[in-house]
Structures are given as C-alpha cells and as structure tokens.
C-alpha cells in the first residue's frame, strides 16, 4: 500500500513537471530534463545533457563544450551510471538537484547548504552548474565537485574551516568516468604543495608556491592565454587560473593513464592542442633519487648525493638504483658550529613536514633554523623581489631537483668541518682547472715542436727511400686513403693479462672468435677479442672494426683500447664492460627483474644517442648494420655501449645509402629492404633500433616470439596490440617499479615508427632522440616490415637463404 502511495505522489509530482526546452540555461522546480534534452549556457559555450562515453551503453549526465561535444568537463553521476535512457534531471523545491531512474529511484543528488526561496539550477557561461536562490546566492555548484577537468574559475584546494577538499581525479578509462587511480591535489600539510597521486602514493610533485609558480612546475610560464592564481590564508588554500582572453578555451585534464595536460582550443585546426604535459622525465618521479640527493636530468647519472652526503647502499647506487638515498658523511652536532650550503635553481624538497612563516626575513629564517636542532634546511617563502618569508625543513630532504633555469635557492645545514672540506675541494678543483689549462697549453706547444721535428725527420727518411715500423699499427681504410694509428699491445702482456687465454677468463664466443677478460699490469680491466684462425671473413671484419671504431669516441660506444697483431694472432682490446651484454639481462627471467623502467629507458636513450653519433655527429657517417641486444654492452652504471663494428660501413660526403650483394646481419633485426635487396642506409639501423626498443619494453625476442593464436613475430604482435588500442599489453610484466605508463607507451610508439615497412617513413636518429626525450605529439606509425615469422605472409618476399635459429650474425643470401 505504501509503495502505491509513493508511486501516486511521484506521478503527481512529475505530472507537474515541464520538460526544459533545448536552449534553456536554467531549470526550476517545476521543470526537468529527460535523456535527449539539454541545457545550454547563455553564451553558448557549454551544454549539459545525457551522454554515453565511447562504446559504453551506460548513461551519464555531464557538461561538455558546445564546439567539441566529445570533451566532457564534468560528470554528475560518475560513480552511478544509468543503464537506460529513462533518466530525468530536476531540481527540488529544497534546491537539490536529483537524477532519477526509470523507477524514480535517486541515482545521484546534489546537496543544499540551506533551505532556499525560489531555487533555480543554471548552467553558467564558465561551465559551472549552480543552484542559486532568489537573491542569486549559490547553494551548490559543480565547481566544488571537480571531476578530471580544471576549468578557468575553478578553485582547487582546501577549505580549512569546513575541511572540504576540491581536487581532480582521472576517469577509470576513456569509457568509464568513475573515479580512477590518478588525482592532482593540494597537499595541505606543512607548506601546501601540489602533488600528483596514484592511489594513496605521491607519484610526482609540482611543489610549493613561491609567489611566481609552483617551484617544480616550469611549464607554468607567462603566456597570452591564462594567468595562474594561488591563495593561501588561515581559512583556505586554493589555486586556479583565469583566462586573459575570454574567446579562448583552455582546460587542464588528468587522463586515465595518469598523464595530465593543459590543452588550448585552436580554431584554425578546430582541435585541442597540448600546451604542456606532466611527467616529462625520470627526475619528475617523486623521490627518484631517494632522500638527501638531487636529480639533474642533464647529468649522467641523473642522481647525486647532496654535497657532504654518501649513498646509503653504494652497491645499488652504482647499479643506478638510487631509491635508498644518502646520509651525512659527518653527523650534525647541535651547536653553533653549523653553517649552510647554498643550492641554486632547485625544486624545493617535499614540504609536507615543513614549517613556514610569511613575514620573516631570510636572515631571521636562517637564525631560526640554527636555533632548532632538527632543522635541516631553509629557503625563501616568496621569491618575488628581494625574496621574503621563511620555510624550514626538519629531517630528510626528499625530491630535490636541479634545473638549468628556474627553481629557487635552498640552504642546507652542514657542520662547519664539512663546509671547510667542500671549500678546500672547490679551491683544489679551481687550481686543478688552472693547472690543466696551463698544462694543456704547454703540451700543445711541446707536441707542435715534436711534430715539427718528426715531420722534418720523416721527410729526410722518405727522401732516402726508407720506412721504419712505428710503435703504432698502420691500417689503410677501405679507400686506401687514410692511415690509422692505434696503440699496439704486446702479445706477452695480453697473455699475462688473460692468464694465457684460460677458459676461466673466457667471456663468450663472438662473431669472429672467443672473447677473454684480462687485467693489465696497470690494473685496467680489458676484454680481448681473439680472431679465430679458421675465420676467413673474420680478418676483414677485424680490419674494418679497427678502421672504423678507432676514429670514434662517444660515451655510448664501446672503447677500443688497441690491438695486438703478432705471431699469427689478431686481437682487439676493449675496455671491459662488467655488466656484459643487454640480451643477458632482458631475455633472462631472473636478471630482467633487475632492469627496472628507469634503467630500460636509460639504456634505450643511450643507444639512441650512440647511434645518432654514428649516423650524424661523428666525422664519418657510419651504418652499424648489426645492431642487436647482444651487441649492446653495459658498464658498471648500466650505461649502454654499442659494440661490434665488424659489419659497419662508413659513408662519405652526401652518400645516403648503398647496396651490397653479400647480406650479413642478424635475422629478426634486419630491415626488409636490406634483407631482400641488400640496400642499407641509416634507416636500416633505425629499423634494428626499433626492434631493440620493442624487445626492451616487452622483454621478448622478436625472433622466436610466440603468442598463442597467431604466427606474428614481436613486431607483428606489437602492431596488432597497437591497432587494437591496447599497447600496454606488450609491456614486460616482470618490471615492477614505478614509471609513467605514458612514458613506456611513448617508447612503444617510437619503436613502431622505427620499424615501419618503408625506410622513408622511418624517422632519422635525431628525430628519434628528440621524440624520446620530449612530450611532443608523435606521428602515426604505418604497418611494420617483417611482422610475421613467415616471410610469405609479409609483403616483401625473400630469395634463397637459410636462417639460423640463434641470434648470431649470419650471412643470409645473395641479394636480388
Ligand atoms: O653477453 P656476454 O656476456 O657479453 O657475452 C658476450 C661475449 O663477450 C662474446 O661477445 C662479451 N663481451 C664482448 N665484449 C665485451 C667487453 N668489452 N666487456 C665485457 N664483455 C664483453 C659479451
């Protein structure tokens, strides 16, 4: 009986409702909007109505831009979807907005701060949906309940009186507006700071407001589109932005992937263009270098302990795992014998347990820090003008970043003894620099004199028709034009160093023979490549390697220290790479766990830089022709070094590509035009580099890749996932550390651009390096070359040739 009464009341209530017309911006208690109806703001900028995101069947009430209806800026019932088109939105006489389903159940409702007179709901020109009373005072507004989008006029932060927080939360997915994992909020503890959260964990930090900007948010530069605002007082803290020109649209959104972007509407292209994107590099990851360390993206390695601090776990630190951070070399004693070390242009450390005062001078701030035994650092609260106010830190300093420009000054408390030590070190480095400059000048003059004497002496000898064997080995290069000079090692020295080429010293078997570890008398570790006597082709590769690599020097190329050619022995001596080759890490179940994302990305970027040097920056244009995981060696700090130049070719002048009849390389890494026609160019190396990226990201070999249900190789599988919009399924599940999904997806995207079928579609290495280190928009990739393990299924056909199952360099076949 009660249910029937309820229905009757509802029937009576709804029979009074009038459906709002399509262009209204308001609804009053006797009006409603049903699915299909809309409200439009008075100036026609925003529209409110029912929608289904993407392919989802669920219905939501939301607000979107009139000129871009797929850009939803707010959702009322984000966590409570309707399952059919029967929803009705109305406002009650108590000033409460309610969304009802087909059984008149309340799916979502707003609240009202007080009983109003003549309440009305209105969609304002700012995109704010408000309920106001007869006097125009707001009872409720959607701007107080943000979803994933920050619009001009929206104030995000905390009301300290009511305890209400306003922050952005991502959608769960592009088809589900429910609250997702990622949020951007003001952390009100200590000096309030802006943080990017993943669940309950801080992912990144834009930092505290310094009067001009958040200290770690450099993109926030002066611009003609919007102006930033920050308010901090006893009652509230919030930030917002104001448009400088109202005809422009600008929004800030946190996406389901965790990436946050500012987008501006561009009329010319009728699309949103990215103004800035969060999480551009490793140093943005919160606490990436651990406590009491700084991150500087322009340094290698990027992390360094603060001056006077030492790594807590030196072994991990050397392996580029910096999470354990650093501790003081000399403990702080709480007395007057403390001073401060100044750091300039830094993002201030985490302020969540800091203290601040807006009016103190910097001198007073320093004094206050010295008086408090647990104070570890101080800084200006506001950097405008001369700077003023005071921020104090207590305990560890976490998440400091050094910038080339921007940031602000930070003063870190140190024992005087440590400051003296640092001062001496600085003076010594200065003296050392002067000594080096003077020494170098003297050396140049000395060399010039010796050169002159040698020149006269050689000329004399030549005139007499005699040549003498120099202490260095001479090799003609391919054109027979240029002489190479390379240190010659004595066979006995190498024999001693390698324990007479003992099996215990053997590192493995390379393309042209065994490789041994050795220790020279001066203590240097070396790797010795010994040409096996049976290797016919090997001698050419041996000479080729000497000619090419001896001329090159780059931190991402393995260094050739010299050679040994004596008593039928031909050997190349390299710097020793303690972490061996990359393939021994990525394809090994246990070891691959050691390669976290930061290391993988560091390796990809290092190889890219090494390859760029070979292609564009070295004296010669060099095509490696056999780039693969087993030819990337890793040094102590896991820096990658490209090795094995046996197959490399150099191009002079404007030459871009060449053709060979003898196709040598490694199946799985060879580009189609090289494997089929013998055409090689920088773009064939780019192809191999693309394969390498996809292997590093997935932890799977391209060759021999198996996935149930298809015969695609890794490239084909990556392409399939890309086309199905689920590239994240490619990511190696064994890597468990924190890294932005968008960064990994970007690497997959660049990998796919590199392995495109047509060489002219592939980017060159300078573009690759640029794409890997920026957040710029990337072009769309086309279908990759050689994307199945069966050559028949690919568009290029091969002629003859057999492939070895192992990842060794093979001569494939005579090209057509
Ligand atoms: O994967 P790995 O352990 O690293 O096995 C191969 C093997 O020799 C045959 O190439 C290792 N190797 C080659 N050059 C060096 C080097 N400079 N330092 C350390 N190991 C090396 C390679």
Residue 289 pLDDT class (50, 70, 90 cuts): very high
Q: Which of 118-127, 173-182, 480-489, 769-778 has the lowest mean pLDDT?
A: 480-489
**Residue 514 pLDDT > 70:** yes
User: Ligand 1 atom 15: the closest Cα is on which residue?
Assistant: 527
- DSSP E strands: which ranges in 191-302? 193-198, 201-208, 226-232, 236-243, 250-254, 260-266, 271-277, 293-295
User: Ligand 1 atom 3: the closest Cα is on which residue?
Assistant: 580
* Predicted pLDDT at 463: 41
Integer-rounded Cα Rg, in Å, for the chain is: 33
* Predicted pLDDT at 257: 84
Q: How many CA atoms lie within 13 A of 644 on its CB side?
A: 23
**Residue 191 pLDDT > 80:** yes
Cα of 78 vs its chain's centroid, Å: 31
- With both helix axes pointing from N to C terminus, report the angle between 765-772 and 682-698 in degrees, rounded to the nearest 10: 30
**Between 467 and 524, residue with greater pLDDT:** 524
Query: Is residue 580 lining ligand 1, measured as CB closer than 6 Å?
Result: yes
Query: Is residue 586 lining ligand 1, measured as CB closer than 6 Å?
Result: no
Rounded to an integer, the average pLDDT of 179-200 is 95
Query: Is residue 36 lining ligand 1, measured as CB closer than 6 Å?
Result: no
CA dist 454 and 474 (Å) reads: 17
Quick one: which atom of ligand 1 is closest to the CA of 583?
1
CA dist 496 and 487 (Å) reads: 18
User: Ligand 1 atom 7: the closest Cα is on which residue?
Assistant: 508
Structure tokens at 779: 């072009």
Neighbours of 464 (CB within 10 A): 7
Structure tokens at 235: 């009652």
* Predicted pLDDT at 813: 39
Pairing mode, strands 662-665 and 649-651: unpaired
Structure tokens at 347: 């993002």
For residue 15, what is the enclosing H or E element? helix 2-15
Residue of 498, 501, 506, 507 to test ligand 1 pocket, by largest number of atoms within 8 Å of CB: 507
Query: What CATH number belongs to 581-813?
Result: 1.10.510.10
Structure tokens at 668: 């799985």
**Between 337 and 351, residue with greater pLDDT:** 351
Q: Which of 129-138, 511-520, 657-666 has the lowest mean pLDDT?
A: 657-666
Query: Is residue 351 lining ligand 1, measured as CB closer than 6 Å?
Result: no
SS3 616: helix
DSSP assignment of 654-716 equals T--EEE-SEEEE-TTTS-HHHHHH-EEEHHHHHHHHHHHHHHHHH---STT--BTTB-B-HHH
Query: Is residue 576 lining ligand 1, measured as CB closer than 6 Å?
Result: yes
**Residue 348 pLDDT > 70:** yes
CA dist 365 and 381 (Å) reads: 10
Quick one: which atom of ligand 1 is closest to the CA of 574?
17
Quick one: which atom of ligand 1 is closest to the CA of 584?
1
* Ligand 1: centre distance to CA 506 (Å): 9
CA dist 463 and 466 (Å) reads: 8
* Ligand 1: centre distance to CA 109 (Å): 66
Query: Is residue 665 lining ligand 1, measured as CB closer than 6 Å?
Result: no
Q: Which of 312-316, 375-379, 553-557, 710-714 has the lowest mean pLDDT?
A: 710-714
| Alpha-carbon distance values, 377 to 264, 331, 371, 395, 760 (Å) | 39, 15, 12, 9, 55
**Residue 793 pLDDT > 90:** no
CA dist 294 and 307 (Å) reads: 10
Measured in degrees and rounded to the nearest 5, phi and psi for residue 404 equal -75, -40
* Predicted pLDDT at 797: 32
Rounded to an integer, the average pLDDT of 99-109 is 95
| Annotation marks residue 737 as catalytic | no
* Ligand 1: centre distance to CA 578 (Å): 9
* Predicted pLDDT at 714: 93
| Alpha-carbon distance values, 515 to 427, 492, 550, 587, 721 (Å) | 44, 17, 19, 21, 39
Catalytic residue among 24, 380, 626, 644: 626
User: Ligand 1 atom 6: the closest Cα is on which residue?
Assistant: 508
Query: Is residue 574 lining ligand 1, measured as CB closer than 6 Å?
Result: yes
Angle CA 116–121–127, to nearest 5: 135
Query: Is residue 584 lining ligand 1, measured as CB closer than 6 Å?
Result: yes
Query: Is residue 507 lining ligand 1, measured as CB closer than 6 Å?
Result: yes
Rounded to an integer, the average pLDDT of 399-423 is 89
Residue/partner pairs of 75-83 with CB below 8 Å, 24 or more apart: 75/147, 75/177, 76/108, 76/129, 76/142, 77/107, 77/108, 78/147, 78/171, 78/177, 78/178, 78/179, 79/178, 79/179, 80/107, 80/108, 82/35, 82/50, 82/58, 82/107, 83/57, 83/58, 83/59
Query: Is residue 26 lining ligand 1, measured as CB closer than 6 Å?
Result: no
**Residue 751 pLDDT > 70:** yes
Rounded to an integer, the average pLDDT of 615-644 is 89
CA dist 804 and 816 (Å) reads: 21
* Ligand 1: centre distance to CA 632 (Å): 9
CA dist 734 and 630 (Å) reads: 20
* Predicted pLDDT at 352: 96
Neighbours of 659 (CB within 10 A): 12
Structurally, at CATH architecture level, domain 1-145 sits in Orthogonal Prism (2.90)
* Predicted pLDDT at 480: 37
* Ligand 1: centre distance to CA 29 (Å): 78
DSSP conformation class of 383: -
Pairing mode, strands 31-34 and 18-19: parallel
Query: Is residue 527 lining ligand 1, measured as CB closer than 6 Å?
Result: yes
Rounded to an integer, the average pLDDT of 1-10 is 38
* Ligand 1: centre distance to CA 574 (Å): 10
* Predicted pLDDT at 655: 60
Query: Is residue 666 lining ligand 1, measured as CB closer than 6 Å?
Result: no
| Top-tier CATH class for 468-576 | alpha beta
Residue of 557, 562, 581, 632 to test ligand 1 pocket, by largest number of atoms within 8 Å of CB: 581
* Ligand 1: centre distance to CA 573 (Å): 12
User: Ligand 1 atom 5: the closest Cα is on which residue?
Assistant: 508
DSSP assignment of 489-549 equals PPHHHHHHHTTTT-GGGEEEEETTEEEEEEE-TTS-EEEEEE--TT-HHHHHHHHHHHHHH
Pairing mode, strands 400-402 and 293-295: parallel
**Residue 10 pLDDT > 70:** no
For residue 484, what is the enclosing H or E element? strand 483-487
DSSP conformation class of 249: -
Structure tokens at 462: 């030549």
* Predicted pLDDT at 783: 93
Rounded to an integer, the average pLDDT of 613-617 is 85
Nearest to 564 by CA among 689, 649, 473, 663: 473
Quick one: which atom of ligand 1 is closest to the CA of 508?
7
SS3 312: coil
**Residue 401 pLDDT > 80:** yes
User: Could you tell me if 63 and 80 are in contact, meaning their C-beta atoms sit under 8 angstroms apart?
Assistant: no
* Ligand 1: centre distance to CA 474 (Å): 26
User: Could you tell me if 629 and 587 are in contact, meaning their C-beta atoms sit under 8 angstroms apart?
Assistant: yes
* Ligand 1: centre distance to CA 55 (Å): 51
Q: Tell me the residue length of the chain.
A: 816
SS3 142: helix
Domain map of the chain by residue range? 1-145, 152-280, 283-423, 468-576, 581-813
Query: Is residue 128 lining ligand 1, measured as CB closer than 6 Å?
Result: no
CA dist 682 and 618 (Å) reads: 13
What's the mean per-residue pLDDT of the chain?
84
The answer for residues whose C-beta is within 8 angstroms of residue 720's C-beta and 6 or more apart is: 710, 712
Residue 571 pLDDT class (50, 70, 90 cuts): very high
* Ligand 1: centre distance to CA 113 (Å): 72
Query: Is residue 375 lining ligand 1, measured as CB closer than 6 Å?
Result: no
Query: Is residue 549 lining ligand 1, measured as CB closer than 6 Å?
Result: no
Residue 243 pLDDT class (50, 70, 90 cuts): confident
* Ligand 1: centre distance to CA 805 (Å): 20
Nearest to 670 by CA among 611, 706, 623: 623
25-84 residue pLDDT tens: 999 998 999 999 999 999 999 999 999 999 999 999 999 999 999 999 999 999 999 999
Query: Is residue 581 lining ligand 1, measured as CB closer than 6 Å?
Result: yes
Query: Is residue 645 lining ligand 1, measured as CB closer than 6 Å?
Result: no
3-state SS track over 41-82: CCCCCEEEEEECCCCCCCEEEEEEECCEEEEEEEECCCCCCE
* Ligand 1: centre distance to CA 669 (Å): 19
**Residue 23 pLDDT > 80:** no
* Ligand 1: centre distance to CA 545 (Å): 16
Q: Which of 92-106, 201-215, 258-272, 760-774 has the lowest mean pLDDT?
A: 258-272
SS3 160: coil
**Residue 432 pLDDT > 50:** yes
CA dist 780 and 687 (Å) reads: 16
Rounded to an integer, the average pLDDT of 171-179 is 95
Rounded to an integer, the average pLDDT of 604-618 is 90
User: Could you tell me if 214 and 208 are in contact, meaning their C-beta atoms sit under 8 angstroms apart?
Assistant: yes
**Residue 552 pLDDT > 90:** no
* Predicted pLDDT at 146: 98
Residue of 501, 508, 585 to test ligand 1 pocket, by largest number of atoms within 8 Å of CB: 508
Quick one: which atom of ligand 1 is closest to the CA of 641?
17
Query: Is residue 632 lining ligand 1, measured as CB closer than 6 Å?
Result: no
Quick one: which atom of ligand 1 is closest to the CA of 511?
10
Residue of 513, 580, 626 to test ligand 1 pocket, by largest number of atoms within 8 Å of CB: 580
* Predicted pLDDT at 21: 47
Query: Is residue 633 lining ligand 1, measured as CB closer than 6 Å?
Result: yes
Residue of 633, 634, 647 to test ligand 1 pocket, by largest number of atoms within 8 Å of CB: 633
Structure tokens at 558: 């393995």
Rounded to an integer, the average pLDDT of 352-357 is 96
User: Ligand 1 atom 13: the closest Cα is on which residue?
Assistant: 515
* Ligand 1: centre distance to CA 302 (Å): 26
* Ligand 1: centre distance to CA 730 (Å): 28
* Predicted pLDDT at 758: 94
User: Ligand 1 atom 10: the closest Cα is on which residue?
Assistant: 510
- With both helix axes pointing from N to C terminus, report the angle between 682-698 and 741-754 in degrees, rounded to the nearest 10: 150
User: Ligand 1 atom 17: the closest Cα is on which residue?
Assistant: 576
User: Ligand 1 atom 1: the closest Cα is on which residue?
Assistant: 581
């Amino acid at each position: 009986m009660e249910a029937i009464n309820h229905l009757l009341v509802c029937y009576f209530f709804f029979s009074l409702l009038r459906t709002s017309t399509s262009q209204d911006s308001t609804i009053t208690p006797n009006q409603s909007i049903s699915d299909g109806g809309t409200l439009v703001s008075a100036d026609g900028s925003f529209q409110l109505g029912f929608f289904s995101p993407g392919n989802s069947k669920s219905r939501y009430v939301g607000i979107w831009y009139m000129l871009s209806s797929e850009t939803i800026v707010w959702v009322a019932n984000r966590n409570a979807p309707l399952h059919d088109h029967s929803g009705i939105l109305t406002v009650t006489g108590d000033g409460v907005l309610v969304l009802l389903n087909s059984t008149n159940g309340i799916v979502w409702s707003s609240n009202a701060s007080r009983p109003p007179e003549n309440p009305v709901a209105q969609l304002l020109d700012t995109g704010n949906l408000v309920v106001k009373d007869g006097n125009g005072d707001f009872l409720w507004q959607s701007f107080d309940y943000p979803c994933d989008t920050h619009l001009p006029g929206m104030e995000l932060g905390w009301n300290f009186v009511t305890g209400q927080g306003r922050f952005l939360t991502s959608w769960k997915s592009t088809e589900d507006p429910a609250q997702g994992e990622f949020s951007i909020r003001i952390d009100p503890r200590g000096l309030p700071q802006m943080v990017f959260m993943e669940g309950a964990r801080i992912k990144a930090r834009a930092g505290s407001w310094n009067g001009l900007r958040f200290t770690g948010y450099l993109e926030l530069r002066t611009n003609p589109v919007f102006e930033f605002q920050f308010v901090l007082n006893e009652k509230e803290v919030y930030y917002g932005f104001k448009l400088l020109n109202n005809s422009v649209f600008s929004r800030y959104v946190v996406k389901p992937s965790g990436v946050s972007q500012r987008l501006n509407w561009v009329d010319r292209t009728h699309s949103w263009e990215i103004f800035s994107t969060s999480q551009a590099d490793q140093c943005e990851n919160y606490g990436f270098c651990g406590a009491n360390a700084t991150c500087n993206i322009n340094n290698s390695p990027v992390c360094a302990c603060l001056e006077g601090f030492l790594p807590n776990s030196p072994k991990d630190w050397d392996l580029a795992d910096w999470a354990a951070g650093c501790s003081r070399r000399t403990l702080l004693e709480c007395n007057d014998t403390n001073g401060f070390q100044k750091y300039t242009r830094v993002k201030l450390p985490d302020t969540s347990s800091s203290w601040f005062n807006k009016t103190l001078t910097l001198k007073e701030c320093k004094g206050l820090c010295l008086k408090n035994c647990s104070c570890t650092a101080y800084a200006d609260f506001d950097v405008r003008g001369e700077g003023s106010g005071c921020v104090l830190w207590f305990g560890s300093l976490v998440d400091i970043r050094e910038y080339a420009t921007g940031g602000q000054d930070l003063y870190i408390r140190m024992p005087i003894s440590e400051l003296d030590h640092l001062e001496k070190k600085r003076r010594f480095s200065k003296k050392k620099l002067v000594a080096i400059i003077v020494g170098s000048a003297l050396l140049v003059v000395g060399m010039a004199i010796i050169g002159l004497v040698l020149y006269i002496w050689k000329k004399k000898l030549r005139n007499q028709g005699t040549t003498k064997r120099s202490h260095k080995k001479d090799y003609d290069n391919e054109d027979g034009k240029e002489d190479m000079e390379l240190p010659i090692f004595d066979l006995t020295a190498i024999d001693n160093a390698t324990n007479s080429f003992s099996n215990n010293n053997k590192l493995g078997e390379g393309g042209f023979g065994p490789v041994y570890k050795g220790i020279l008398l001066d203590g240097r570790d070396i790797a010795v490549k010994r040409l096996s006597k049976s290797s016919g082709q090997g001698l050419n590769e041996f000479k080729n390697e000497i000619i090419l690599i001896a001329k090159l020097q780059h931190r991402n190329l393995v260094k050739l220290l010299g050679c040994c050619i004596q008593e039928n022995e031909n050997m190349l001596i390299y710097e020793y790479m303690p972490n061996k080759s990359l393939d021994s890490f990525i394809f090994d179940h246990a070891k691959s766990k050691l390669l976290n994302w930061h290391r993988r990305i560091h390796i990809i970027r290092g190889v890219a830089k090494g390859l760029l040097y070979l292609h564009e920056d070295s004296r010669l244009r060099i095509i490696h022709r056999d780039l693969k995981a087993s030819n990337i060696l890793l040094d102590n700090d896991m820096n990658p070094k490209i090795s094995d130049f046996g197959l490399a070719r150099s191009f002079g002048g404007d030459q871009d590509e060449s053709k060979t009849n003898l196709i040598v390389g490694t199946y799985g890494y060879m580009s189609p035009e090289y494997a089929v026609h013998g055409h090689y160019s920088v773009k064939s190396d780019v192809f191999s580099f693309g394969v390498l990226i996809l292997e590093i990201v997935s932890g799977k070999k391209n060759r021999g890749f198996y996935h149930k249900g298809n015969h695609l190789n890794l490239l084909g599988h990556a392409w399939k996932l890309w086309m199905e919009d689920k590239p994240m399924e490619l990511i190696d599940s064994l890597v468990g550390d924190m890294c932005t999904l968008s960064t990994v997806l970007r690497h997959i995207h660049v990998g796919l651009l590199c392995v495109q079928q047509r060489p002219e579609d592939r980017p060159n290495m300078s573009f690759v390096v640029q794409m890997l280190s920026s957040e710029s928009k990337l072009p769309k990739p086309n279908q990759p070359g050689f994307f199945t393990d069966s050559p028949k299924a690919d568009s290029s056909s091969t002629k003859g040739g057999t492939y070895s199952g192992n990842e060794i360099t093979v001569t494939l076949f005579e090209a057509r």
